[in-house]
Chains A and B, each alone.
Chain A
Amino acid sequence: MARMKFLCDAERCIECNGCVTACKQEHDIPWGVNRRRVVTINDGVPGERSISVACMHCSDAPCMAVCPVDCFYKTEEGVVLHDKDLCIGCGYCFYACPFGAPQFPQAGAFGVRGKMDKCTFCAGGPEANNTADEYKKYGRNRLAEGKLPACAEMCATKALLGGDGDVLADIYRERVTKRGKGADVWGWGTAYGPPGQQPAAPAGGAKS
């Protein structure tokens, strides 16, 4: 069984926001809710780098640990999902998350009673796959269709990768080899544990 992960290659991200709008249009996400954002550091000066950030679907997800109603669950593919029917919108997960992924919309289809909303790795929620109910609460379930997250599939420079962690690591290793220099894989250590515990860690080491 594949272990799904995200990887954003800062050497390639150009902050074009393609991942952001891909997500918005795929799931019809309302104004004000951002499951994915592009964060830029050193904006406008040498050293400027951008990273696309959403829920990383952590191995040992802090959100799951802190949720008082236990609304989170993990799929066989390592995707961290939650049940909006159980969520009470308390916001603990937001404080626990190292990536700022949980969103608390106040209005619209996702905002019923201020329930938490976040990236689903395009894998829907607990409802039956691709039902109207699932779509309404969580958006599309692309994994069930044999597709990968829309953000990664449409990335302008193939900076954002999403899919089987082993394959991601292979691809990234090849890039690093070609470039002849190591690089930071932003967030990997935080999300998926230290390199020793990651059989599929990319070359060059993972740092958070």
Chain B
Amino acid sequence: MLLTKKSDGVVAAGPRLRRLGGAVLPTMDRRTFLRRSGIAAGAGAFASQLPFGSIAPAEAAAEGQGGGKTEVKRTVCSHCSVGCAVDAVVENGVWIRQEPVFDSPLNLGAHCAKGASIREHGHGEYRLKAPMKLVNGKYQKISWEQAINEVGDKLLALRKESGPDAVFWIGSSKFSNEQAYLHRKFVSFWGTNNCDHQARICHSTTVAGVANTWGYGAMTNSYNDMQNTKCALYIGSNAAEAHPVSMLHMLHAKEGGAKMIVVDPRFTRTAAKADEYVRLRSGGDIPFLFGLLHHIFKNGWEDKKYLNDRVFGMDKVREEVLTKWTPDKVEEACGVSPAQMYKVAEMMAKNRPSTLVWCMGQTQHSIGNAMVRASCILQLALGNVGVSGGGTNIFRGHDNVQGATDVGPNPDSLPGYYGLAAGSWKHWAAVWGVDYEWIKKQYAPNMMEKPGMTLSRWIDGVMEKNELIDQDSNLRALVYWGHAPNSQTRGKEMVEAMKKLDLLVVIDPYPSATAAMAAMVRKDGVYLLPAATQFENTGSITASNRSIQWRERVIAPLFESQTDHAIMYAFAKKFGFDKELVKNYKIVKPTEGKFEEPENESILREINKGTWTIGMSGHSPERLKLHMKHMNTFDVKTLRAKGGPCDGEFFGLPWPCYGTPEMKHPGSPNLYATGTPVMDGGGCFRANFGIERDGQSLLAEDGSFPKGGDLTTGYPELDHVLLKKLGWWDELTDEEKKAAEGKNWKTDLSGGMIRVFMKNHGNHPFGNAKARAVVWNFPDPIPQHREPIYSTRPDLVAKYPTHDDKKAFWRLPTLYKSVQEKNKDIGKEYPLVLTSGRLVEYEGGGEETRSNPWLAELQQDSFVEINPKDANDRGIRDGEMVWLGTPTGAKIRVKAMVTERVGPGVSFMPYHFSGVWMGKDMLEYYPEGAHPIVRGEAVNTATTYGYDSVTMMQETKTTVCQIAKA
């Protein structure tokens, strides 16, 4: 009775182009597979070569039309930093299908739930569709013209009354590089440093801690390079949910024999794949890492030559860990047994190169800056930094949080980590072609070089007593431009601050939780402006591994939305600095109903022209587009192109890609790799902290230098004096000499000095120095364990107290000891540790992904994980509703998930939910038809005070709560 389908059926159309696409790769050897299944390499590569004639005309066909113009646009998923490429099939301007890009060396066609459903952005059913204004507690539609005028007038009036610092501009890690950069420039021309973005609450502690250790604050290697590791230790990273496609590379390594260790308070989905799982007491990272180091030093497993040649201050750290972090003290502070500590230390030491991965589990603590340095120190001791298969693989969060950190809205720096000193301003003024004095006049007196507030603290910028803040006026207006509010702590206080503001503006593709929270406490003074998504825009983004990819525009901005940079330009016109803002840019003529916008390519060229520090100078739009087109030529393990038009270059020119685009630097796949020549992407540690400390040289020892360099000793960073001293000055052209005179490698706009130093002589422009195990300019030069502000362990608070309070820190008084002291017995009332993290289906604050029905269906409730012991002690059963209360007085109502995933005394909540406020559905407060499908309690409604002592990172990963049956 087996029927067979008629011959005009299944087999009729088209060649079996991808006989086994999904199956591709037994492990990773995609090319072998393609050969075996008879597909020529490159066929089906660029999707435009696919037989589109045979592709179903989708919706159009379903509606009985069909026959339209079909195009394929290559874009990149916007939900995490892996950078998964997507081929979007567009018919008559409608996004009808998405196809995997098997050629992408980063994701090989793979997607998680978010990437596989990215096409929902072509529907945008629950988007914010038109500009809106809160009138009498309800959102009403207004025109763009009215919106720009009213918001613009109000902001200008506030500026006049209270100065430019009265406005806080929260930018976005979901901006493209061009938009992020333009946002920083825009805010500067407005006249304030009060701007920030998601990196503050994501990896700010990493950026500060890691850059201060060895030069740059980014992931040193790449997801792909993890294929080359022998042992990977994940601490505070749940990659299987937060960066699922990265697991493709790790599992490949594991199948080849690499060991995998996961250290986390939760037995995560990542832990389920590990060879060794270590249950860590939340916040015990430093005792754990230094506990490993104790065994390493005790057994002589450290890389002695490496430490001698390339590291400063390790002797002091050694002394400290050998005396202070003995196995018993380690166990007391982090809960890991001496036997397991020894086992893990041995695994890391005897399977080199070994790599270390961390994410928010490590960064989001009041001592995050010290934790990340402890991780770096461990890797330095093992000699793992600067080698393939090693490194600190720091996974960033958003698709462009790396790029926005590099060139975007940061309160303490201009694009490219230039800082805020007068010289930095003059550098950028020259690149922008505007007068330095003019910019200075835009600022309030003496505020131009003072770092702004951070987004984690805007609440206090509004609410703090005026005499205690380090600027004239309190914050009076807030612009949430592509950022969720429910990803920040202290939600209960946040709505109070929202209430107090004069003006709140939300610019976002979705109304976001901000709209609903504001409407809950206000009657007016809120504006919502619909922004376009990145699928409605072109531009570059920087993946976590520093590879830069170029997105094509898939569809025109839906509804009445405008691209972010078009909105910036429109406001610049209103504020009267449009000519200065777009001086170097081509302007793209508007289509119907849309604003004119600066051309993305010309913005990128301006970025190239000024961003020498991190080598974002070589990424011309042409080079990036060429890489996107020829993805198939790049090797998956090395990311290097073999042959083809990008021969020898690394995919996406991972920064630093030094010099001008013409210099053809190939990008740097693994940072600080002395075994590789600089013009092949090699390097060394940066000379950024002087050349001497306590009578010891900070430069690398003789014989340690990037392979093939003419200078074989340590050396300081390149400037005109050094180049002259070395006798290489005359290798500059006359034109270059003029530009380079009096400059250093970061400010020479010709790029001539870099060319001569790197290309002609094989040396590194940022110098050749030692990494710092002791960062003397930080509160704890050697990382110290300090208990979280809210701890359930008074005995440990007594032993490891937090910092003293700070007076004016990022313009605000910041409390440490006084809060910890007051709450040292808080564990009696709130005995459970509360930590938070990601779910694979959602991203960030979650409004965008919870508005996608394909994702929303998979996670419909906000929940708290609680150990069976704690649940039974409280009479709570799995699936029941519970009240979770914290010391802030907030109580949130969520579903209990009783599971041994968390240990006794620990509870976990995902942080993606919003739309329910302490038991009440906020549906009525959203603009009609623009609410997320799934709404739930936000964990951050209930989270507590606590900020990192260097960067103001919020402490979300360790706080306290009590849970009771609802």
Contact = CB atoms under 8 A, between A and B. Distances in A.
Interface of A: 1-2, 7, 11-12, 14-22, 24-26, 31-32, 43-46, 48-49, 64-65, 70, 72-77, 79, 81, 123-124, 126, 128-132, 135-136, 140-141, 143-158, 160-164, 167-168, 170-172, 174-175, 178-179
Contacts of B100: 153-154
A64 B1 contact: yes
Interface size bracket, B side:
35 or more
16 contacts: A17-B858, A21-B114, A22-B111, A64-B2, A75-B9, A76-B5, A135-B61, A136-B62, A143-B10, A144-B9, A145-B13, A145-B56, A154-B100, A157-B110, A162-B22, A163-B21
B440 to A, nearest CB: 50
Contacts of B9: 75-76, 126, 129, 144
A45 B357 CA distance: 22
A148 B272 CA distance: 29
Contact of B54 (A17, A135, A144): A144
B116 A74 contact: no
A135 B55 CA distance: 12
B115 A175 contact: no
Residue of A22, A44, A65 with most chain B CB atoms under a 10 A cut-off: A44
Contacts of B365: none
A25 B116 contact: yes
Interface in B102-120: 108-117, 119-120
Contact of A75 (B4, B24, B110, B841): B4
Contacts of B269: 14-15, 48
Nearest to A175: B26
Contacts of B150: none
Contacts of A170: 26, 36
B901 A24 contact: no
Given A75-B5, A146-B16, A152-B23, A31 B857 contact: yes
B26 A178 contact: yes
A130 B54 contact: yes
Contacts of A172: 26
A121 to B, nearest CB: 9
Contacts of A154: 22, 100, 109-111, 115-116
A132 B51 contact: no
B22 A16 contact: no
Given A44-B901, A156-B111, A129 B22 contact: no
Contacts of B26: 170-172, 174-175, 178
A146 B114 CA distance: 25
Contact of B110 (A18, A45, A123, A128): A18
A201 to B, nearest CB: 16
B33 interface: yes
B23 A17 contact: no
B298 interface: no
Contacts of B3: 72-74
Interface stretch (B194-202, B243-251, B607-615): B243-251
Contacts of B10: 75-77, 79, 123-124, 129, 141, 143-144
A73 B27 CA distance: 34
Contacts of B114: 21
Interface in B9-46: 9-27, 33, 36-37
Given A18-B110, A161-B23, A130 B5 contact: no
A48 B100 CA distance: 28
A14 B247 contact: yes
A204 to B, nearest CB: 13
Contact of B19 (A158, A167, A174): A167
A19 B116 contact: yes
A174 B36 CA distance: 14
A170 to B, nearest CB: 8
A158 B256 CA distance: 16
A37 to B, nearest CB: 10
Nearest to A160: B22
A73 B674 CA distance: 63
A153 B110 CA distance: 7
B64 interface: yes
B854 interface: yes
A138 to B, nearest CB: 11
A2 B23 CA distance: 14
B417 to A, nearest CB: 33
A21 B113 contact: yes
Contact of A18 (B37, B55, B112, B272): B112
A21 B22 contact: no
B277 interface: yes
Nearest to A135: B62
Residue of B14, B15, B244, B854 with most chain A CB atoms under a 10 A cut-off: B854
B900 interface: yes
Given A25-B116, A45-B900, A128-B8, A146 B255 contact: no
Nearest to A21: B117
Contacts of B66: 132
A148 B18 contact: yes
A130 B10 CA distance: 10
A34 to B, nearest CB: 8
User: What are the 6 tightest A-B residue pairs by CB atom distance, in nearest-first order?
Assistant: A152-B22, A44-B901, A73-B3, A163-B20, A174-B26, A146-B17
B64 A148 contact: no
B326 interface: no
Contacts of B20: 148, 161-164, 167-168, 171
Interface string B617-639: 00000000000000000000000
A24 B244 contact: no
Given A18-B244, A160-B22, A130 B56 contact: yes
B674 to A, nearest CB: 32
A170 B19 CA distance: 14
A194 to B, nearest CB: 19
B23 A158 contact: yes
Contacts of B25: 158, 171
Contacts of B178: none
B549 to A, nearest CB: 18
Contacts of B244: 14, 16, 18, 156-157
B855 interface: yes
A95 to B, nearest CB: 19
Contacts of A156: 110-112, 244-245, 247-248
B31 to A, nearest CB: 14
B879 to A, nearest CB: 14
B54 A175 contact: no
B112 A81 contact: no
Residue of B3, B20, B23, B98 with most chain A CB atoms under a 10 A cut-off: B23
Given A129-B9, A174-B27, A153 B117 contact: no
Contacts of B117: 21-22, 24-25
A171 B20 CA distance: 10
A22 B116 contact: yes
B756 interface: no
Contact of A148 (B21, B97, B119): B21
Residue of A1, A17, A49 with most chain B CB atoms under a 10 A cut-off: A17
Interface in B460-492: none
A126 B51 CA distance: 23
A24 B245 CA distance: 19
Contact of A167 (B23, B61, B270, B273): B23
Nearest to B55: A145
A134 B110 CA distance: 27
Interface string B236-269: 0000110011011001000110000000000101
A147 B248 CA distance: 22
A197 B111 CA distance: 34
B437 interface: no
Nearest to A37: B858
A144 B111 contact: no
B94 interface: no
A146 B23 contact: no
Contacts of A130: 13, 54-56, 61
Nearest to A75: B5
A126 B29 CA distance: 37
